[in-house]
A and B are shown apart, each in its own frame.
Chain A
């Protein structure tokens, strides 16, 4: 490995829960279309053979003993990244929703920000959400844009990259609560002095499952995200540890 390569050691973190159908392809696509990187799959207590499929596809696999949610899985990933001295990490969905061809664009955004969000609505691709869920996402986006001091349109996107400073901050303070992996973590990181920007990405259809359009679920989603936001805002500021 040349020093230049070493200076940019990249880890792709993929939280996965019962994703054996899609994950193999997703990993192979990341190796094929993404930049030089290691892929870490965090198997969040799957009941199927997700871990084996991922290992066969060439990924490193951390198997959690029980299901801890995306937040817990991401915490594990960040911890691993810090332990092994990666300089930047990017979270990619294991269901193939995020296009591996966009990984490079999102990582490039790290040159002038600590956190980069691959946003689904930023004039690229054809991903749409309707009704109450969309309003909820708009309210969240507006609020967090105010806090971040920059225009963000898609704060619940799981397609996001972080540099070494943010990794350190995340390891100490990444929340494991519901929606903690998106809203809470973002707000806490911003308040700790990390800068955020977004990069437009195209989003593909999920390879399995359907996004929910149930208004009751959307209302619950809005309530819980408002709750998460409220707590995130009242939390103390943290300074990332230097070790």
Chain B
């Protein structure tokens, strides 16, 4: 009975992942990891002997401890991966903010220059907010 519940649970999780992928709510690079974990757990649920065999090989006395250790390790790795992705995203946001700030100033300069040209003044006038020449 417990096996059946576990099996169904994992299956539902896998289905949710596929559905999220299909709707593009989850990027592939994150999904791959979860799908691999899901299939791994599915195999373990189907053939619990595998766990006993593995703990025997690795010298772990209580097989469930091997399961817990593996789960913890995986979660730590996933967290690390997420922190990494988050840092990268923040970095990219920061660069965008810098560019937006500079572009805003640029737009303002172009607007004031535009109105100045329309009103017929020389655009050479020095003073406050003088737009410097750009070499991009």
Residues on A facing B (Cβ under 8 Å):
9, 38, 42, 55-66, 68, 72, 75-76, 79-80, 83-85, 176
Contact of A58 among B128, B135, B136 (CB under 8 A): B128
**Contacting residues, chain A, for B116 (C-beta < 8 A):** none
Q: Which residue of A lies closest to B105 (CB)?
A: A62
Interface locus among B2-10, B49-57, B75-83, B94-102: B94-102
**Contacting residues, chain B, for A9 (C-beta < 8 A):** 132
Is B94 a contact of A60 with CB atoms below 8 Å? no
Interface: B120 (CB within 8 A): no
Contact with A along B122-136 (1 / 0, CB 8 A): 000001111011111
Given contacts A60-B105, A61-B105, A62-B105, contact A83 B134 (CB under 8 A): yes
Is B133 a contact of A84 with CB atoms below 8 Å? yes
Given contacts A58-B127, A60-B105, A62-B104, contact A72 B98 (CB under 8 A): yes
Instruction: Enumerate B105-129 residues with CB–CB distance to A below 8 Å.
Output: 105, 127-129
- In the bound assembly, the distance between CA atoms of A227 and B85 in angstroms comes to 22
Is B135 a contact of A84 with CB atoms below 8 Å? yes
Q: Which residue of A lies closest to B108 (CB)?
A: A61
Q: How large is the interface on B (under 10, 10 to 19, 20 to 34, 35 or more residues)?
A: 10 to 19
Those 5 A-B pairs whose CB atoms lie nearest each other, nearest first: A58-B128, A62-B101, A76-B98, A85-B135, A64-B101
- In the bound assembly, the distance between CA atoms of A62 and B105 in angstroms comes to 6
**Contacting residues, chain A, for B105 (C-beta < 8 A):** 60-63, 80
**Contacting residues, chain A, for B135 (C-beta < 8 A):** 83-85
**Contacting residues, chain B, for A56 (C-beta < 8 A):** 128
Given contacts A38-B132, A84-B134, contact A62 B97 (CB under 8 A): no
Is A76 a contact of B102 with CB atoms below 8 Å? yes
Contact of B101 among A55, A57, A65 (CB under 8 A): A65
**Contacting residues, chain A, for B129 (C-beta < 8 A):** 55, 58-60
A184 to chain B, nearest CB (A): 15
**Contacting residues, chain A, for B98 (C-beta < 8 A):** 64, 72, 75-76, 79
A46 to chain B, nearest CB (A): 12
Contact of B97 among A57, A59, A72, A84 (CB under 8 A): A72
- In the bound assembly, the distance between CA atoms of A55 and B112 in angstroms comes to 13
Q: Which residue of B lies closest to A31 (CB)?
A: B128
Q: Which residue of B lies closest to A67 (CB)?
A: B97
**Contacting residues, chain A, for B133 (C-beta < 8 A):** 84-85
Is A62 a contact of B94 with CB atoms below 8 Å? no
